């Protein structure tokens, strides 16, 4: 078949849902108000470890408008069946109101349901809970690891390190970070008989459906999850957290639809977070910076009831061509809630340790940090021996060096000043695995020449509505205006979690497949229709543009979809598209790559770091939507500035309470912290990755940002701070 002209894909278009968002018409979970909805407020534990010995609900129940107070004393028993294929980490998931045990500070212990939010809030304050409290352990340092460590080895790392010409060792620490998306988690739940409908904040409507079915022990098709808009997530809406279950329990017990919106504070313990890590790296190299041995020993926090897992060891296995590698990762169970994935999970965290260590080695052996990376660049994936589908990290580094003005950098630390400020430049490399999952999409072309495309995907902010419309518009030969893409309903054709940067490859490929099929169906109808100007034409020579089918080399010979459907008395054409990852997933090592550059100015007397400019250069395959790609890349740089310099969830280890569970005390970058940011995407596509040639973007842009900033701080000051965030106190 003739390739379709690409008009929308690759164009820097604005969001198709932008107007809905800025006018407040986009409906987020808490915006849904089914008939008769009532309000729920959760009461949280004020201790971190122990048992509930009593709950006095009399004062709460006496408030006019209070319908019920539910706790473990009167909650229904829930089934909590296994949910294979879901994203529950190993362990036993937290069960809402099923027993008297307290496992972490802020654990939900009761829910008040009332006719108004204000009454529910007031009554929740009146619930008296008594505890038998024990001393919690929430500090990872000094706490023993639990379970079996995760190990990886190739070659003989200990021997290679012993015989290395240059040896260095460092331990890097990363503070706990919370996602702090704009939209807090919220759920509206309604039962119709034994069928449950939930409007929820989720990155995966069908995953939430399956989990709720497992929790309540009902068939999956008795549950419908709806989530048309998500106000930012970064991984925190991948799982079903207790509030969704609690809302559904409250709705069933009261016989009313129930709305439950968490407070900003509750997000810090109802929902997971990026865990604290201690990451020790030992590196051996020859005198010219060729790394011969790497030993990684990691510890990270998890809860007592689940072992959080994320691909923390992968980056260190595949980024550099190191012949001898040994890695051990131990989880440390604490009296905390379970961590979860946060943007670039594993990779972003590992990049701070790996790329800081590479920076330290560069100074140790006197080689430019970029040159050091080039000397350790593999020809094939050193972790599995697979050929790279595409790996253009060299090009990312070279482009970045040129565009950032790296050659203006005096290699000597603390060598550059601007008045009283110390100026430094740093860089880091990054990689993120290209993930692909099966997906489906339905396509319908109506007689008026407009199309509706649907898939149960999510859009937590990357612009999925827009990018899918672009893919569909080009494959159907329609303008953007005549295509509508819908997502966020578990009744739609299957789509995977919007996570791991796999939406474009997975759902996008299904959308393209469905639209290709529909277009070919229309072409077939035309070339076999004696009444069509295209009658008898070779279908492979026909393309569609602006809703008009025509012979590729003879645009005059053709007709519109509308004419074709009207003459054939068809009200619509329909097609289903699908995508299943094939053997390419096993045959190639497919990753997106990044080189991130940062320039900082440090006021050494105040210990104050300001990022002045940043540049990211990405090898992410085809860029479907350049303007939205910039939202991803620049947003990730802002997030990385947060991780590097500001963000830190602080726990008071005396009682396990998070002391800065609010946006006044948990610092995130504000406009004044965000400098001149720029993103460059290498041209081209990865034809082995997936039908669209994309490698995923949302996560790779986060990998390497924090170490680029930290390395710039070292270059500016000559001080190596091995703990994030790099605070003023640390630099003084």
Where would I find the beta strands (DSSP E) of 193-323? 195-200, 223-226, 258-261, 277-285, 291-303
* By the rule CB under 6 A, 496 interacts with ligand MOS: no
- The piece of 233-241, 280-288, 463-471, 554-562 that touches ligand MOS (CB under 6 A) is 233-241
The Cα–Cα gap between 512 and 446 comes to 18
- Min CB(203)–ligand MOS separation in Å: 6
User: What is the Cα 641 distance to its own chain's centre?
Assistant: 17
Binding string to ligand MOS for residues 174 to 203, with x set by CB under 6 A, is what?
A: -----------------------------x
- Cβ-contact 581, 691 below 8 angstroms: no
Residue nearest to ligand MOS (CB): 235
Q: With binding defined as CB under 6 A, does residue 235 bind ligand MOS?
A: yes
- Half-sphere exposure of 203 toward its Cβ, with a 13 Å CA cutoff? 27
- Is it true that the peptide bond before 494 is cis, omega within 30 degrees of 0? no
DSSP 8-state symbol, 286: -
Cβ burial, residue 627 (10 Å; 0-12/13-18/19+): middle
Write each residue from 69 to 88 as x if it is in contact with ligand MOS (CB under 6 A), else as -, in one continuous string: --------------------
Element (H, E) at 69: strand 66-71
3-state secondary structure of 63: coil
Q: Which is nearer to ligand MOS, 235 or 704 (CB)?
A: 235
Candidate list 234, 363, 404, 681; residue touching ligand MOS; CB under 6 A? 234
- CB 183 to ligand MOS: min, Å: 14
Strand 542-545, strand 324-334: pairing: unpaired
- Among residues 179 and 375, whose Cβ is nearest to ligand MOS? 179
Which residue number, 367 or 697, has a Cβ lying nearer to ligand MOS?
697
H helices then E strands: how many in the chain?
19, 30
Q: How many residues bind ligand MOS (CB under 6 A)?
A: 10
- What track of x and - describes contact with ligand MOS for positions 318 through 357 (by CB under 6 A)? -----------------------xxx-x------------
65 vs 438, which CB is nearer to ligand MOS? 438
Active site residue 699: yes
Nearer to ligand MOS, 342 or 515 (CB): 342
Minimum CB separation from ligand MOS for residue 499, in Å?
3
Task: Name the minimum Å distance from CB 332 to ligand MOS.
Answer: 21
Q: How far apart are CA 282 and CA 295, in angstroms?
A: 5
Cβ atoms 91, 306 nearer than 8 A: yes
Q: Between 108 and 639, name the residue whose CB sits nearer to ligand MOS.
A: 639
* Minimum CB–partner distance for residue 342 and ligand MOS (Å): 5
| Selected catalytic residue, list 355, 440, 688, 699 | 699
Q: Residue 703, interface with ligand MOS (CB under 6 A)?
A: no
Angle between helices 509-527 and 464-476 (to 10 degrees): 20
Interface with ligand MOS, residue 500, by CB under 6 A: yes
Work out the number of other CB atoms within 10 angstroms of the CB of residue 407: 8
Compare residues 308 and 343 and give the one whose CB is closer to ligand MOS: 343
Which residue lies nearer to ligand MOS by CB, 45 or 349? 349
What whole-number distance in Å separates Cα of residue 18 and Cα of residue 147? 47
499 forms part of the interface with ligand MOS (CB under 6 A): yes
In terms of Cα–Cα distance, which of 242, 259, 267 is closest to 109? 242
Smallest separation (angstroms) from ligand MOS to the CB of 260? 22
Q: Which helix (H) or strand (E) holds 524?
A: helix 509-527
C-alpha pair distances (Å), 493 with each of 213, 498, 507, 512? 18, 14, 10, 14
Q: How far is the CB of 471 from ligand MOS (least distance, A)?
A: 21
Show the CA angle centred on residue 94, arms to residues 130 and 109, nearest 5°.
Answer: 25
Active-site residue list:
699
Residues contributing to the site for ligand MOS (CB under 6 A): 203, 234-235, 238, 341-343, 345, 499-500
């Amino acid at each position: 078949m003739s390739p379709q002209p690409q008009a929308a894909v690759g164009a820097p278009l604005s969001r198709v849902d932008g107007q809905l968002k800025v006018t407040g018409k986009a409906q987020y979970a808490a915006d849904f108000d089914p008939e008769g909805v009532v309000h729920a407020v959760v009461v949280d534990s004020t201790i971190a470890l122990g048992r509930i010995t009593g709950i006095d609900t009399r004062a709460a129940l006496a408030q006019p408008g209070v319908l019920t107070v539910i706790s473990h004393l009167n909650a229904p028993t829930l089934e909590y069946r296994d949910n294979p294929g879901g994203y529950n980490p190993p362990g036993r998931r937290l069960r809402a109101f099923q027993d008297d045990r307290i496992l972490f500070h802020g654990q939900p212990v009761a829910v008040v349901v009332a006719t108004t939010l204000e009454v529910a809030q007031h009554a929740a304050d009146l619930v008296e809970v008594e505890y038998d409290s024990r001393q919690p352990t929430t500090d990872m340092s000094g706490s023993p690891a639990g379970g079996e460590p995760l190990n990886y080895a190739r070659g003989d790392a200990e021997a290679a390190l012993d015989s290395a010409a240059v040896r260095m060792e460092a331990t890097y620490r990363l503070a706990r970070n919370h996602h702090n998306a704009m939209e807090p988690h919220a759920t509206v739940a309604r039962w119709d008989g034994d069928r449950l409908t939930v409007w929820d904040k989720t990155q995966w409507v069908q995953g939430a459906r399956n989990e709720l079915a497992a929790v309540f022990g009902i068939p999956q098709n008795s549950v419908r999850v709806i989530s048309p808009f998500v106000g930012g997530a970064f991984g925190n809406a991948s799982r079903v957290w207790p509030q969704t279950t609690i809302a559904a329990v409250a709705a069933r017990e009261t016989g009313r639809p129930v709305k439950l919106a968490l407070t900003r504070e509750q997000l810090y313990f109802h929902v997971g977070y990026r865990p604290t890590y201690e990451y020790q790296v030992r590196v051996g190299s020859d005198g010219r910076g060729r790394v011969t041995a790497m030993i990684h020993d990691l510890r990270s926090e998890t809860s007592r009831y689940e072992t959080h897992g994320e691909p923390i060891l992968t980056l260190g296995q595949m980024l550099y061509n190191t012949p001898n590698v040994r890695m051990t990762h131990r989880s440390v169970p604490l009296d905390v809630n379970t961590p979860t994935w946060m943007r670039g999970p594993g990779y972003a965290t590992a990049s701070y340790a790996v790329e800081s260590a590479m920076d330290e080695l560069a100074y140790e052996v006197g080689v430019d940090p970029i040159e050091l990376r080039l000397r350790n660049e593999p020809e094939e994936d050193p972790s599995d021996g697979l050929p790279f589908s595409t790996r253009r990290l060299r090009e990312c580094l070279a482009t970045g060096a040129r565009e950032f003005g790296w050659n203006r950098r005096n290699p000597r630390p603390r060598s550059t000043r601007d008045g009283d400020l110390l100026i430094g430049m740093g860089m880091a490399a990054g990689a993120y695995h290209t993930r692909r999952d099966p997906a489906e999409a339905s396509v319908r072309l109506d007689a008026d020449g407009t199309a509706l495309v649907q898939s149960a995907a999510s859009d937590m902010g990357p612009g999925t509505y827009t990018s899918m419309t672009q893919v569909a518009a080009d494959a159907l030969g329609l303008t953007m205006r005549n295509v509508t893409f819908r997502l966020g309903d578990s009744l739609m054709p299957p789509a995977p979690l919007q996570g791991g940067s796999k939406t474009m490859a997975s759902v996008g490929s299904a959308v393209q497949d469905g639209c290709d099929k529909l277009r070919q169906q229309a072409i077939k109808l035309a070339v076999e229709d004696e009444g069509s100007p295209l009658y008898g034409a070779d279908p492979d020579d026909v393309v569609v543009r602006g809703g008009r089918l025509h012979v590729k080399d003879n645009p005059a010979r053709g007709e519109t979809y509308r004419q074709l459907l009207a003459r054939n008395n068809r009200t619509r054409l329909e097609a289903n598209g699908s995508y299943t990852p094939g053997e390419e997933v096993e045959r190639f090592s497919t990753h997106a790559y990044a080189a991130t550059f940062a320039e900082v100015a440090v006021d050494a007397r105040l210990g104050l770091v300001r990022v002045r400019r940043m540049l990211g250069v990405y090898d992410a395959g085809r860029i479907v939507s350049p303007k939205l790609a910039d939202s991803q890349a620049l947003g990730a740089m802002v997030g990385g500035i947060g991780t590097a310099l500001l963000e830190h969830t602080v726990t008071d280890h005396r009682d396990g309470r998070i002391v800065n569970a609010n946006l006044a005390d948990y610092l995130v970058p504000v406009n004044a912290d965000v400098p001149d940011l720029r993103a460059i995407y290498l041209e081209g596509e990865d034809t082995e990755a997936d039908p669209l040639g994309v490698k995923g973007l949302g996560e790779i842009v986060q990998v390497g940002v924090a170490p680029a900033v930290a390395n710039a701080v070292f270059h500016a000051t000559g001080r190596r701070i091995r703990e994030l965030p790099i605070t003023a106190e640390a630099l003084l």
